[in-house]
Amino acid sequence: MRAYERLLQYVKVHTTSDPASKTAPSSACQLDLARQLVSEMTALGLENAHVDDYGVVYGWLPATQGCEDVPALGFIAHMDTSPDLSGENVKPQLIPNYDGGDVLLAGSGHVLSPAAFPGLAKLKGMTLITTDGTTLLGADDKAGIAEILTAVESVIASGAPHGRLCIAFTPDEEVGAGVDHFDVAKFGAAAAYTVDGGEEGEIAYETFNAAAVSVTVTGLSVHPGSSKDTMINAALVAMEFNALLPAADIPRLTEGYEGFFHLCDMQGDVEHAQLHYILRDHDRASFELRKKMLHHAEKTLNERYGRPVVAVDIQDSYYNMAEKLTDHMDLIENAKHAAELAGMKPFCEAVRGGTDGCRLSYMGLPTPNLCTGGFAYHGRFEHIAVESMDRCARMIELLMTTVR
């Protein structure tokens, strides 16, 4: 079975994660795909395929004779899709021999255009998979799952020698909880790759440092007709807080290694207001400086109003995995070589985001990230090419076998 055929099966299963949930997995629907994958892995011949109590799927392919001493290698992808847009009732559409022009997303009337998404030009002549415009596609990261299992199937069919292969599929990556309950010791790999990247050929070992920021503002409400020097309007103070941050340090105006403060949402009235940010920076020193800027804004406003009006809470989410991968650059070189042999032009690019591999690398499992071939994740314009998926699956197969 080709990778895209698996993808088309997986996107039928609703697996949107829930950022408000306190359960693991955060949404029960993820277990539907987990159980389906366990059945498929068992049918392929993986050993002890199972889903644990937290929704993590594990399975192993034993080493072939003579390769028992080869270090075990892991491959990981995530099952959930982003809560940014519905992942239920996904209706993918295939466009064979894509002509490089606009694509009508038939269910919504939206148009996927190379004017907005220049990467489409690279997919001309391929078979394009898009959404119908009413949902996301779910190639993030069901394409990664499909490519890993397609590679496993090819390895088994070819009889090629290989060391022990460790396979895992995680829930809740999109809400930052993908490896909260991941058992590194049980997984048993000496090193691993997440398959959760974008454009074909992309290999990543640098990511953001990340934190979640909650800002709570407590105002003082009195009758507006007699509020001189008394009222403290929490909603206005929230606006003041945001104005104290660098105006150009936002996602729309940053790229490459430039960090940002991203205001995700804000709500409030006179008495109470709250803002939520995500904080991102590739450089650890700059990351820590940004935290200090937030606390300085807090201090400035509390001094201005003469009371504790603003409270800032910062929770680190993950760190740049480059700090843990500098001693494991053989993983990157192997991936580059495999990508070339699979017909891709490899390139390394710092991810403006994170993967399960960030936290896994800090948990003692060096885990860089590999491409899936997809574009425009988390929205209705998500798309991927069949041929890109084939090449990504081939790269994984080569990493499993000849490129070790």
Long-range contacts of 291-297 (CB under 8 A, 24+ apart): 291/211, 293/245, 293/246, 294/213, 294/215, 294/245, 294/261, 296/244, 297/241, 297/244, 297/245
Distance CA 7, CA 340 (A): 24
Residues 284 and 174 in one domain: no
For this structure, is 80 an active site residue? yes
pLDDT band at 17 (very low <50, low <70, confident <90, very high): very high
In angstroms and rounded to an integer, the radius of gyration of the C-alpha atoms of the chain is 23
Catalytic, out of 18, 40, 80, 141: 80
The mean pLDDT of 223-231, rounded to a whole number, is: 92
pLDDT at 404 over 90: no
Helix (H, G, I), strand (E, B) or coil at 10: helix
Give the pair of three-digit tokens for residue 119: 């990467």
Same-domain status, 198 and 313: no
By C-alpha distance, which of 68, 84, 64, 117 is closest to 16? 84
Per DSSP, 228 falls in state: T
- If asked whether residues 18 and 94 sit together in one domain, one would say yes
Q: What is the pLDDT of residue 403?
A: 52
Same domain, 229 and 137: no
Q: How confident is the model at residue 353 (pLDDT cuts 50, 70, 90)?
A: confident
pLDDT-derived band of residue 354, with 50, 70 and 90 as boundaries?
A: confident
What backbone phi and psi angles, to 5 degrees, belong to 142?
Answer: -70, -20
* Interval 80-92 mean pLDDT: 95
Residue of 173, 356, 382, 390 marked active site: 173
Q: What is the pTM of this model?
A: 0.90
Place of tokens 């020097």: 229
Assess whether 303 and 340 both reside in one domain: no
Residue 303 appears among annotated catalytic residues: no
Regarding whether 126 and 100 lie in a shared domain, the answer is yes
Q: Which of 283, 317, 351 is the last residue of a domain?
A: 317
One domain for residues 153 and 266: no
Residue 165 three-state SS? strand
Distance CA 357, CA 205 (A): 9
In terms of DSSP bridges, do strands 165-170 and 73-78 run parallel, antiparallel, or are they unpaired? parallel
Q: Is the pLDDT of residue 266 over 80?
A: yes
Number of domains in the chain: 2
Q: What is the pLDDT of residues 131-190, one digit of tens each?
A: 999 999 999 999 999 999 999 999 999 999 999 999 999 999 999 899 999 999 999 999
Please check the confidence at residue 402 and state whether its pLDDT lies above 80: no
Q: Answer yes or no: do 244 and 338 share one domain.
A: no
**Which residue, of 284, 317, 350, is where some domain finishes?**
317
Order of strands, edge to edge, in the sheet holding 93-95? 93-95, 128-130, 383-385
- Tens of pLDDT along 296-343? 999 999 999 999 999 999 999 999 999 999 999 999 999 999 999 999
Asked whether residue 284 falls in the same domain as residue 183, the answer is no
Q: Domain check: are 278 and 193 in the same one?
A: no
Mean pLDDT, the chain, whole residue set: 96
Range of the structural domain that residue 280 is part of: 209-317
Domain's final residue, options 317, 332, 362: 317
Same domain (yes/no): 348, 380: yes
CATH code, 341: 3.40.630.10
- Whichever domain contains 251, its CATH number is 3.30.70.360
Same domain, yes or no: 40 and 129: yes
